[in-house]
């Protein structure tokens, strides 16, 4: 009984320990979860300077099956390759999301075919749905009337934002063919024009603010 009570306390306390902070998901399968090493720090700096957040300036990683994930209201996931969730990973991620957590997955090009089958483990009865351009996440702080911005060209496909919902709340955001994380990186890494980086950072700020407040 004590264990059950302790678990329920953790589940309903997402973000209460660390406050405003972002963690990076260290997943298994061989994919490079650690790609874009400068992106989160730059996004944090932009948010703290422009949208009045007080996100802690430190790099944090969490694993899908760790109880530590419940300390963070927003978890970011990226990479190019394979993704694998164990059943314990999936169960823990499901509890995290249903208890108020938010997962942003940014395809850094190449993870789509692996990711989609792993998401089924988390929510077998839910399907990724494309998020309409009038969803609040596209205008929460900065306005994107056409939806998700295109940051990097890969297959020359249009950028798409997909989501999983619970009782109307967007709890998982999957950004595809956009590569926001590359736009958040130090400018000399990808040599993106400042206007492109600003789009990526502003969209990132929308995601951060939305995740913290919903």
Residue 199 sits in a domain of what CATH number? Answer: 3.40.50.12140
Q: Which tens digits make up the pLDDT trace of 41-78?
A: 999 999 999 999 999 888 899 999 999 999 999 999 99
In the chain, what percentage of residues exceed pLDDT 90? 82
pLDDT higher than 60, residue 180:
yes
Q: Which tens digits make up the pLDDT trace of 118-146?
A: 999 999 999 999 999 999 999 999 999 99
pLDDT band at 10 (very low <50, low <70, confident <90, very high): very low
Q: How many domains is the chain partitioned into structurally?
A: 1
Q: How far apart are CA 103 and CA 107, in angstroms?
A: 13
DSSP designation for 159: P
Q: Tokens for 64?
A: 């899908």
Q: Are 10 and 92 in contact (CB under 8 A)?
A: no
Q: 78 in helix, strand or coil?
A: strand
Domain interval for residue 188:
2-213
Looking at per-residue confidence, does 211 or 2 come out higher? 211
Helix (H) or strand (E) holding 169: strand 169-176
Q: How far apart are CA 212 and CA 50, in angstroms?
A: 15
């Amino acid at each position: 009984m004590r264990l059950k009570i302790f678990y329920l306390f953790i589940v309903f306390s997402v973000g209460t320990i660390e406050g405003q902070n972002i963690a990076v998901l260290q997943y298994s399968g061989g994919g490079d979860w650690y790609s874009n090493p400068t992106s989160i720090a730059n996004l944090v700096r932009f948010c703290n300077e422009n949208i009045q957040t007080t996100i802690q300036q430190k790099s944090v990683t969490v694993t899908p099956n760790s109880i530590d994930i419940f300390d963070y209201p927003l978890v970011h996931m990226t990479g190019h390759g394979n993704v694998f969730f164990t059943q314990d990973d999936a169960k823990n991620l499901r509890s995290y999301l249903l208890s108020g957590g938010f997962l942003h997955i940014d395809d850094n090009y190449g993870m789509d075919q692996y990711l989609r089958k792993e998401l089924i483990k988390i929510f077998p009865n839910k399907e990724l749905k494309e998020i309409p351009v009038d969803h609040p996440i596209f205008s929460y702080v900065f306005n994107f009337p056409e939806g998700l911005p295109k940051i990097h060209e890969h297959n020359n496909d249009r950028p798409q934002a997909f989501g999983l919902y619970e009782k109307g709340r967007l709890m998982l955001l999957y950004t595809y063919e956009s590569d926001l994380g590359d736009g958040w990186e130090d400018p000399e890494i990808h040599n993106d024009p400042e206007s492109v980086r600003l789009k990526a950072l502003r969209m990132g700020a929308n995601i951060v603010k939305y995740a913290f407040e919903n």
